[in-house]
């Protein structure tokens, strides 16, 4: 076996990026200019929609390393409208590629907004702003020459925390001190710390096992499990979540029993922990690595253990991670199995993308500050962005809109009196009944 590997620090499983969808294009003010017609009607076109920011799953990716070098992602804005009722061109969507098993979290709320598992799966994380309406939309029988249009809405923007749960193709599981770290070190260039602790590592060590040209896989040494891990004992949940999206498990058993445990009991206990956390975990394909056959007790216990485990339908490989005996055969078999295993399914409902709704924010807030009534919120931003505050008719439209949105009623409930000042971001006006 041609053993190569990578520095496990290269396997970044968290990243933080800023995304900004494109702003909608502004609608425009325009009028028909036709021969022999002195004053044509309004024909200002609408602005184009801003581009979305879309995450898409690329099965060729394994890490989040690209996000180390680029932190800001912005899609194209929409173009402004044109005359002759022509709508401006929409901005192009921005596609951000991520590996299977990527979780997206809104940094502000801390909530999971998407769990992306399948190749080709997409999720719109930030929607582009709608284009503003051209003045053609504001003509009425009494206002035949509207001299205002709407600005486009701003695109959504936010900081996103990205986590990668798919850490490896193959996970090494088993009790602490059964030889998982030694096995990883023997088949890859990863150099995990190896010590006689129950929790040698908090996060998995990873290495690349290269079998031949074009045939390699990522192997993870999952930190040692203990009885009760599925209930959160120790750091159980932290460990178990790393196993979720591996396609294949190599269950390392200390066949020598030198720590006073029975190898068959070890096998049953670990599988109970997997089932207790997620019943689908115990259904993952497992290869059993009967380790420490270089110890006399290991040779003695092997025959009975192998017979009992193979009766359960598992393939058993007697190995010595310390000397390398049987390790090549184990890894070659794992590589062949990976070619036949379908994509991982974690839950019975994973046929649909798991999306978690973010709590709706209040559309606007009203507070009194130094005798000024301050109105803020996403709704207020949209209203202000949709009107031309320098145009009288547009101001009338603004007044009707804030009335319809419930802002006037909210100001009244807050005790506003005629003549009091209202501030909406940079825009101030006197309240009049």
Residue spans per domain, the chain? 1-165, 170-338, 365-430
CATH class of 170-338: alpha beta
pLDDT band at 9 (very low <50, low <70, confident <90, very high): very low
Structure confidence by residue, pLDDT tens digits, 163-183: 886 457 888 888 888 888 889
* pLDDT beyond 80 at 227: no
Higher pLDDT, 145 or 344: 145
- Please give the CATH topology (third level) of the domain spanning 1-165: Spo0b-associated Gtp-binding Protein; Chain: A, (2.70.210)
The helix/strand count (H/E) of the chain reads as: 8, 18
pLDDT band at 231 (very low <50, low <70, confident <90, very high): very low
**Predicted pLDDT at 346:** 43
* pLDDT beyond 70 at 201: no
CATH superfamily of 365-430: GTP-binding protein OBG, C-terminal domain (3.30.300.350)
Alpha helices in 143-248 (DSSP H): 180-187, 236-243
What's the pTM value of the predicted model, to 2 decimals? Answer: 0.50
- Which of 68-82, 115-129, 205-219 has the least mean pLDDT? 205-219
**Predicted pLDDT at 326:** 94
Handedness of CA 304, 310, 314, 317 (dihedral sign): positive
**Predicted pLDDT at 363:** 77
**Predicted pLDDT at 245:** 66
* pLDDT beyond 60 at 290: yes
CA distance 169 to 142: 69
pLDDT band at 359 (very low <50, low <70, confident <90, very high): very low
Range 110-139 burial, b when 16+ CB lie within 10 A, else e: eebbbbbbbeebbbebbbbbbbbbbbbebe
**Predicted pLDDT at 302:** 92
CA Rg value for the chain: 31
């Amino acid at each position: 076996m041609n053993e190569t590997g990578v520095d496990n620090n290269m396997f970044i499983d968290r990243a933080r990026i800023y995304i900004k969808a494109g702003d909608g294009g502004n609608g425009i003010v325009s009028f028909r200019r036709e021969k022999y017609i002195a004053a044509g009607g309004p024909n200002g076109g609408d602005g184009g929609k801003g581009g979305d920011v879309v995450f898409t799953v690329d099965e060729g990716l394994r890490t989040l390393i690209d996000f180390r070098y680029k932190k800001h992602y912005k899609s194209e804005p929409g173009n402004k409208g044109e005359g002759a009722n022509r709508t401006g061109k929409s901005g192009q969507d921005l596609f951000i590629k991520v590996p299977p098993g990527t979780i997206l979290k809104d940094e502000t709320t801390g909530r999971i907004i998407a769990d992306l598992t399948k190749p080709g799966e997409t999720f719109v994380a930030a929607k582009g702003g709608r284009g503003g309406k051209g003045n053609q939309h504001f003509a009425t029988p009494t206002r035949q020459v509207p001299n205002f249009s709407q600005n486009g809405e701003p695109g959504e923007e936010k900081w996103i925390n990205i986590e990668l749960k798919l850490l490896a193709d193959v996970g090494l599981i088993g009790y602490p001190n059964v030889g998982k770290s030694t096995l990883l070190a023997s088949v890859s260039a990863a150099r995990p710390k190896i010590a006689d602790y129950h929790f040698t590592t908090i996060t998995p060590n990873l290495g690349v096992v290269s079998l031949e040209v074009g045939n390699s896989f990522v192997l993870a040494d999952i930190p040692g499990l203990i009885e009760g891990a599925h209930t959160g004992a120790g750091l159980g949940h932290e460990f178990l979540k790393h196993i979720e999206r591996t396609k294949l498990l190599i269950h390392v058993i200390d066949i020598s029993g030198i720590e006073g445990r029975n190898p068959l009991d070890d096998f049953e206990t670990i599988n109970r922990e997997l089932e207790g956390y997620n019943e689908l975990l115990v259904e993952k394909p497992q290869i059993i690595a009967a380790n420490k056959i270089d110890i006399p007790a290991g040779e003695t216990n092997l025959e009975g253990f192998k017979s009992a485990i193979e009766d359960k339908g598992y393939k058993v490989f007697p190995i010595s991670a310390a000397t390398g005996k049987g390790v090549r055969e184990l890894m070659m078999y794992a590589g062949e199995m990976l070619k036949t295993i379908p994509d991982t399914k974690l839950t019975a409902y994973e046929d649909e993308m798991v999306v978690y709704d973010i709590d709706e924010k209040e559309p606007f807030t009203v507070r009194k500050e130094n005798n000024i009534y301050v109105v803020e919120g996403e709704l207020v931003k949209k209203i202000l962005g949709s009107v031309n505050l320098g145009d009288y008719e547009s101001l009338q439209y603004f007044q009707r809109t804030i009335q319809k949105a419930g802002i006037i009623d909210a100001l009244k409930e807050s005790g506003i009196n005629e003549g009091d000042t209202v501030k909406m971001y940079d825009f101030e006006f006197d309240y009049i009944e």
